[in-house]
Amino acid sequence: MIGIVSYGGYIPRLRLDRMSIVQNIGWLAPAIVMVAQGERSFCNWDEDSVTMAVAAARDCLSGTDKKKVDALYLASTTLPFADRLNAGIVATALNLREDILTADFTSSLKAGTSAMVAAMEAIKSGEKKQVLVTASDRREAKAASFYEMWFGDGAAAILLGDEDVIAEFRGAHSVSYDFVDHYRGTHERFDYTWEERWARDAGYTKIIPEAINGLLAKLAISMNEVDKVVYPCFFKREHASIAKAIGATPDKVVDNLHEACGETGAAHPLVMLVRALEEAQAGQRIIVAGFGQGCDALYFRVTENIRRLPPRIGIKGCLADEGKKTIDNYLKFLKSRDLIETETGIRAEAPSQTAMTVLWRKRKMILGLVGGRCKKCGTPQYPKMDICVNPACGAVGEQEDYEFADVPAKIKSFTGDMLAVSVDPPAIYGMVQFEGGGRLMADFTDCGLDDIRVGLPVKMSFRKHATDKERGFTGYFWKAVPLAGAAKEEKQEPEKAAMPELRFDGKVAIVTGAGGGLGRVYALELAQRGARVVVNDFGGARDGSGESSTRPADAVVEEIVAAGGTALANYDSVAAPDGGERIVQAALAQYGRVDILINNAGILRDKSFANLTPDMWQAVLAVHLQGAYNVTRPAFAAMKERGSGRIVMTTSAAGLFGNFGQSNYSAAKMGIVGLMNTLKLEGEKYNIKVNTVAPLATTRLTQDVLPPDFLDKLKPEFIAPVVLYFCSEACADSGLIVNAGGGFFSRAAMVSGPGLTLGDGQRAPTPEEIHQNWARIDSLQGAHEFPNANDALMAMLAPPSPIPNTQSADKETRASGQGDKETHANGQGDSVQAVFERMPGTFQADKAAGVDVVFQFRISGRGGDWYAVVKDKTCKVEAGVHPKPTTTLKMADEDFLKLTAGQLPAMQAYTSGKLKIEGDLMKSQLVTKLFKF
Least distance to ligand NAI from the beta carbon of 572, Å? 7
Q: What are phi and psi of 114, to 5 degrees?
A: -65, -40
Pick 668 or 899: Cβ nearer ligand NAI: 668
Nearest to 571 by CA among 593, 592, 601, 594: 601
Q: Of the candidates 2, 584, 594, 623, which one interacts with ligand NAI according to CB under 6 A? A: 623
Half-sphere exposure of 29 (CA within 13 A, CB side): 15
**348: Cβ contacts below 8 Å, ≥ 6 apart:** 421
Least distance to ligand NAI from the beta carbon of 602, Å? 3
Task: Using DSSP bridges, classify how beta strands 853-860 and 399-403 pair: parallel, antiparallel or unpaired.
Answer: unpaired
Note whether 722 binds ligand NAI by CB under 6 A. Answer: no
Q: Of the candidates 124, 503, 700, 929, which one interacts with ligand NAI according to CB under 6 A? A: 700
> Which H helix or E strand runs over 316?
helix 314-319
Q: Of the candidates 538, 836, 855, 866, which one interacts with ligand NAI according to CB under 6 A? A: 538
Least distance to ligand NAI from the beta carbon of 708, Å? 15
Task: Using DSSP bridges, classify how beta strands 874-879 and 864-871 pair: parallel, antiparallel or unpaired.
Answer: antiparallel
Q: Do you know the residue count of the chain?
A: 933
DSSP-based three-state secondary structure for 924: helix
Q: Of the candidates 516, 799, 819, 919, which one interacts with ligand NAI according to CB under 6 A? A: 516
Pick 293 or 512: Cβ nearer ligand NAI: 512
Binding-site residue total for ligand NAI (CB under 6 A)?
33
Backbone region of residue 659 per phi and psi (left: phi > 0; alpha: psi in -120 to 50; beta: other values): beta
Pick 269 or 539: Cβ nearer ligand NAI: 539
Question: Using an 8 Å Cβ cutoff, are 588 and 594 in contact?
Answer: yes
Binding to ligand NAI, residues 351-380 (CB under 6 A) = none
Closest residue to ligand NAI, judged by C-beta, is 517
- Residue 651 CA to residue 670 CA, distance in Å, equals 7
Least distance to ligand NAI from the beta carbon of 816, Å? 36
How does DSSP assign 750-819, residue by residue? --B---EE-S-SSSPPPHHHHHHTHHHHH--TT-B--SSHHHHHHHHHS--S----SS-SSS--EE-SSG
Q: Of the candidates 517, 800, 819, 885, which one interacts with ligand NAI according to CB under 6 A? A: 517
Note whether 523 binds ligand NAI by CB under 6 A. Answer: no
Peptide bond into 383 cis (omega under 30): yes
- Residue 657 CA to residue 753 CA, distance in Å, equals 17
- Residue 568 CA to residue 560 CA, distance in Å, equals 9
- Residue 718 CA to residue 724 CA, distance in Å, equals 11
Least distance to ligand NAI from the beta carbon of 632, Å? 14
Pick 573 or 806: Cβ nearer ligand NAI: 573
**Residue 711 identity (one-letter amino acid):** L
> Which H helix or E strand runs over 397?
none
Note whether 17 binds ligand NAI by CB under 6 A. Answer: no
Least distance to ligand NAI from the beta carbon of 540, Å? 6
DSSP 563: T
- Residue 280 CA to residue 345 CA, distance in Å, equals 52
Least distance to ligand NAI from the beta carbon of 567, Å? 15
**Rounded-to-10 torsion of CA 348, 353, 354, 355:** -150
Residue 112 vs residues 115, 169, 295, 673: alpha-carbon distances, Å: 5, 16, 11, 67
DSSP 64: S
Note whether 702 binds ligand NAI by CB under 6 A. Answer: yes
Pick 337 or 542: Cβ nearer ligand NAI: 542
Note whether 600 binds ligand NAI by CB under 6 A. Answer: yes
Question: Using an 8 Å Cβ cutoff, are 411 and 445 in contact?
Answer: no
Note whether 515 binds ligand NAI by CB under 6 A. Answer: yes
Question: Using an 8 Å Cβ cutoff, are 155 and 136 in contact?
Answer: yes
Task: Mark residues 551-580: x for contact with ligand NAI by CB under 6 A, - for none.
Answer: -x--------------------xxx-----
Q: Which residue intervals of 683-719 are DSSP H helices? A: none
Pick 402 or 665: Cβ nearer ligand NAI: 665
Interacting span for ligand NAI (CB under 6 A) from 128-136, 178-186, 508-516, 834-842: 508-516
Q: Of the candidates 8, 203, 519, 735, which one interacts with ligand NAI according to CB under 6 A? A: 519
Pick 430 or 540: Cβ nearer ligand NAI: 540
Give the distance, in angstroms, between the CA of residue 627 and the centroid of all CA atoms in the same chain: 45
Nearest to 193 by CA among 178, 180, 202: 180
Is 299 annotated in the active site?
Answer: no
Least distance to ligand NAI from the beta carbon of 516, Å? 4
Least distance to ligand NAI from the beta carbon of 591, Å? 20
Nearest to 897 by CA among 857, 929, 867: 857
Beta bridge partners of 434: 409
Pick 604 or 917: Cβ nearer ligand NAI: 604
Question: Using an 8 Å Cβ cutoff, are 814 and 803 in contact?
Answer: yes
Interacting span for ligand NAI (CB under 6 A) from 37-45, 151-159, 503-511, 600-608: 600-608
**618: Cβ contacts below 8 Å, ≥ 6 apart:** none
Interacting span for ligand NAI (CB under 6 A) from 105-113, 163-171, 512-520, 681-689: 512-520
Catalytic residue among 73, 476, 522, 665: 665
Least distance to ligand NAI from the beta carbon of 618, Å? 13
Q: Of the candidates 371, 539, 755, 800, which one interacts with ligand NAI according to CB under 6 A? A: 539
Q: Of the candidates 580, 602, 634, 799, which one interacts with ligand NAI according to CB under 6 A? A: 602
Interacting span for ligand NAI (CB under 6 A) from 11-19, 697-705, 838-846, 870-878: 697-705
Note whether 695 binds ligand NAI by CB under 6 A. Answer: yes
Pick 91 or 510: Cβ nearer ligand NAI: 510
Note whether 800 binds ligand NAI by CB under 6 A. Answer: no
Note whether 265 binds ligand NAI by CB under 6 A. Answer: no
Nearest to 647 by CA among 665, 629, 626: 629
Interacting span for ligand NAI (CB under 6 A) from 16-24, 348-356, 421-429, 690-698: 690-698
Task: Using DSSP bridges, classify how beta strands 71-76 and 916-919 pair: parallel, antiparallel or unpaired.
Answer: unpaired
Task: Quickly count: other Cβ atoms within 10 Å of residue 108's Cβ.
Answer: 20
End-to-end CA distance of the chain: 66
Binding to ligand NAI, residues 632-671 (CB under 6 A) = 650, 652
Note whether 518 binds ligand NAI by CB under 6 A. Answer: yes
Note whether 205 binds ligand NAI by CB under 6 A. Answer: no
Interacting span for ligand NAI (CB under 6 A) from 129-137, 497-505, 606-614, 693-701: 693-701
Question: Using an 8 Å Cβ cutoff, are 146 and 30 in contact?
Answer: no
Q: Of the candidates 152, 438, 544, 864, which one interacts with ligand NAI according to CB under 6 A? A: 544
Pick 90 or 601: Cβ nearer ligand NAI: 601
Q: State the residues that interact with ligand NAI by CB under 6 A.
A: 512-513, 515-519, 536-540, 542, 544, 552, 573-575, 600-603, 623, 627, 650, 652, 695-697, 699-702
Catalytic residues: 665
